[in-house]
Amino acid sequence: MRFTLFIFISLFAGVAGFSQEKLTGLHINPMVRARAIEYNQMKYLANGEDTLPVAMPFFDDFSANSVFPSSKRWIDRFAFENDDFPVFPINQGAMTLDAINDSGNMYPTAVPGPMSFIADHLTSRYIRLDSAFTPVPHALTPADSVYLSFFFQPQGRGMAPQKIDTLLLEFLTIPAHDSIIPGDTIKIPDAWKQKWYALGMSLDTFRYYNNNKYFIQVMVPVTDPVFFTNKFRFRFTNYVSLASSAEPSWQNNTAQWNLDNVYLNTGRNRYDTVYPELRFVYRPPSLLRRYASMPYPQYCNDPTNEVKDTLEITMTNRDIIPQMSTYSYYVTNPATSFSKTYNGGSYNIDPYKSVPYVTYQKFAHPEVPFLIPISQADSAIFLMKHVLRATTPGTVMGDTMQAYQKFFNYYAYDDGTPEASYGLSPTGSQLAYGFNLNKSPDTLRAVSMFFNRTLGNDSKQFFYLCVWNDNAGKPGDTIYSDLVMPRYADSLNKFATYHIYPPLAITGKFYVGWIQTTDDNLSIGFDRQNRSQNEIFYNTTGVWNNSSFEGSLMIRPIIGKPIPLGIGDIPANDVKISVYPNPCNSGLLHLCVPDSYDKTSNYGDGTILISDLVGHILLKTGFQQEINVTSLSNGLYFLEIRNRAGVRVGTAKFIIT
């Protein structure tokens, strides 16, 4: 096997004109895609609710992490509410505008540059800017000093907007209406007035020009009397450009903007920049030192070295005065009586302008003075909840966040959400991802991968799924390979699972990854929140190198006991049927059933099914040793033999070229 793969690499290593690893933007957002499917055939705002105005104050900190904007404040759902893309947001969560629409796909108007196109909108409900109702009802005028404020950030953990990319703020001047003329009715669309804009740049450049700040606040006064109606509305819009590329699989989403703390109210001025909050900034961290998740038996074999000594918690006081506060967290197992609590005591948290993020050791780096319990179980799950509270009498500020620590049958460095796509070039490039066993030997049953769709799905090319052993901290000998293709999912955390057949015995450290057969971007999901850079190795020149990108690949080896099968997977007790020629280019596929095959399975009276990568059955026929496959297009297919009782008794994979 090593000799075969060496020849493959040698033949193709010099084909492409460049050798590199590359990080690109997403062409599909799996979280938006999943929520869009849930909302399918449902009207987002029913019965004209989007025309009902809301009263001030208008405020949204986007901390619900609900994917779509709240219909209580916004009328569209193109922008993406999340806590993955913003870097040091004002509080946990922000709203991201990019080139991906409300179905989770690239906009149909997304074409290679250099021209930009209109992408996301974030549009408010109608707002009552004609009247206020507290302390007593009264009409509003420019004298009431109305300001709209918000924080913004280019790029975040996504891709930087280019110089021609723009983020706009617009106010509605004339709502859409019908104009009646003799013999006809003309529909007049909304009329908007631009009030503010920002030009694209990288986050590093943005910080350089803004005193090292990650988010900048914008204060926009509302002074024109034309806006003081019961149909005031504002919206954010972004213009996006896609880089031109001779390789469609490398074209990517290049323009992401993050918004936070959008606030509209009366009685404000340009110095009214503080909205008092005591908040966590990032989601709860993993309790594990190296992984986001790992197999429970592997954890139980060395719990001391797997649990962190301390956690990293980011919290902030957005008030203008210090706040005496308490912080604690607790860990419980819903299925048992296990419960542990950490109490960080009290601390007077300085305001953001003095110290942006808490540095007090017991709050920012709390200890983990206990171990997750061990048992003989195959899996376990623990709830971790963090609580921050101000203790000043009369103050209700505070925050709570929680997450689950999972111990299932897989290793994961990633958190399950991609912020970018990782790819290699040229043909023959190798990618290996390292994992460590605490308990050896064990069994590698499968590898799960999260592939991002690319523009036109041009990354759907064959690759060799490979496993390597360790050689002094780098990939060594190839101990498994199988020719497969990327499979895509339309829902959140939906990984494609490739079963290893036969299951592979592994010891110590091992690596999983791929060898490419084309220059195309395989576009594996890349999590920029969690960092496992030292375990990512690539080889484009015959030498293994560590990745230059900080983050984690969304590749998860599945370890331990046998697992349920998915579409196209081959069970261990099936007979692997030989087919030839493979690849097939003659239109006739021949089956070769092993002589040792159990004749009592009655496969000769059974059925042959041929399906594609997503399980669609394309051909069904009675058992025969020669099959006409001229109706099938180029690609990878699965063949299975079922006996007369309908039970699968044999399988094969073949390629048509």
Cα distances (Å, whole numbers) of residue 412 to 167, 406, 500, 532: 36, 10, 18, 10
SS3 6: helix
Q: Hey, which residues does 80 pair with through a beta bridge?
A: 96
Helices (H), 39-155: none
**Edge to edge, what strands does the sheet with 635-642 contain?**
575-576, 648-656, 635-642, 607-611, 617-622
60/58 Cα distance (integer angstroms) = 7
Cis peptide upstream of residue 135 (ω within 30 degrees of 0): yes
Q: Which amino acid is at 356?
A: P
Query: For 271, left (φ over 0), alpha (ψ -120 to 50), or beta?
Result: alpha
Phi/psi of residue 333, nearest 5 degrees: -110, 115
SS3 53: coil
Total-model pTM: 0.79
Cα–Cα nearest to 643, from 592, 600, 583: 600
Query: For 604, left (φ over 0), alpha (ψ -120 to 50), or beta?
Result: alpha
User: Which tokens in the block code for residue 639?
Assistant: 């063949």
Q: Hey, which residues does 181 pair with through a beta bridge?
A: 184
pLDDT of residue 487: 78
Buried b (16+ CB within 10 A) or exposed e, 328-346: bbebebeeeeeebebebee
- Do the beta carbons of residue 602 and residue 643 sit within 8 Å? yes
pLDDT of residue 469: 97
pLDDT of residue 46: 41
Show contacts of 538-541: CB within 8 Å, 24+ apart. 538/21, 538/424, 538/429, 538/430, 538/431, 538/432, 539/429, 539/430, 539/431, 539/432, 539/475, 540/13, 540/19, 540/20, 540/21, 540/424, 540/425, 540/426, 540/428, 540/429, 540/430, 541/13, 541/19
- Do the beta carbons of residue 305 and residue 364 sit within 8 Å? no
> Half-sphere exposure of residue 60, counting CA atoms within 13 Å on the CB side?
20
pLDDT of residue 13: 37
User: Which tokens in the block code for residue 655?
Assistant: 């390629």
**DSSP strands (E only) in 223-322:** 234-240, 257-265, 278-280, 315-317
- Do the beta carbons of residue 27 and residue 252 sit within 8 Å? yes
Query: For 599, left (φ over 0), alpha (ψ -120 to 50), or beta?
Result: alpha
List Cβ neighbours of 525 (8 Å cut-off, separation of 6 or more): 414, 418, 421, 422, 449, 450, 451, 452, 553, 554
List Cβ neighbours of 18 (8 Å cut-off, separation of 6 or more): 425, 426
582/657 Cα distance (integer angstroms) = 9
Average pLDDT for consecutive 10-residue bins of the chain (657 residues)? 38 44 70 55 46 91 90 93 94 92 74 78 96 85 96 94 93 85 79 96 96 96 96 95 56 79 96 95 96 97 97 96 97 91 97 95 97 93 97 91 95 92 91 97 95 61 91 96 77 75 94 90 90 96 94 96 58 66 87 64 75 77 89 84 77 83
- Other CB atoms within a 10 A radius of the CB of residue 61 amount to 20
Beta strand 138-139 with 131-132: parallel, antiparallel or unpaired? antiparallel
Q: For 228, which DSSP code?
A: -
List Cβ neighbours of 81 (8 Å cut-off, separation of 6 or more): 62, 64, 65, 66, 67, 68, 69, 70, 93, 94, 95, 96
- Do the beta carbons of residue 203 and residue 157 sit within 8 Å? no
- Do the beta carbons of residue 371 and residue 302 sit within 8 Å? no
List Cβ neighbours of 38 (8 Å cut-off, separation of 6 or more): none
497/474 Cα distance (integer angstroms) = 25
239/167 Cα distance (integer angstroms) = 7
Domains and CATH numbers, the chain: 2-22+414-559 (2.60.120), 56-273 (2.60.120.260), 296-407 (2.60.40), 575-656 (2.60.40.1930)
**DSSP strands (E only) in 426-570:** 430-436, 442-449, 463-471, 474-484, 496-506, 509-516, 524-527, 536-539, 545-546, 552-553, 555-559
List Cβ neighbours of 146 (8 Å cut-off, separation of 6 or more): 56, 129, 140, 221, 222, 264, 265, 266, 268
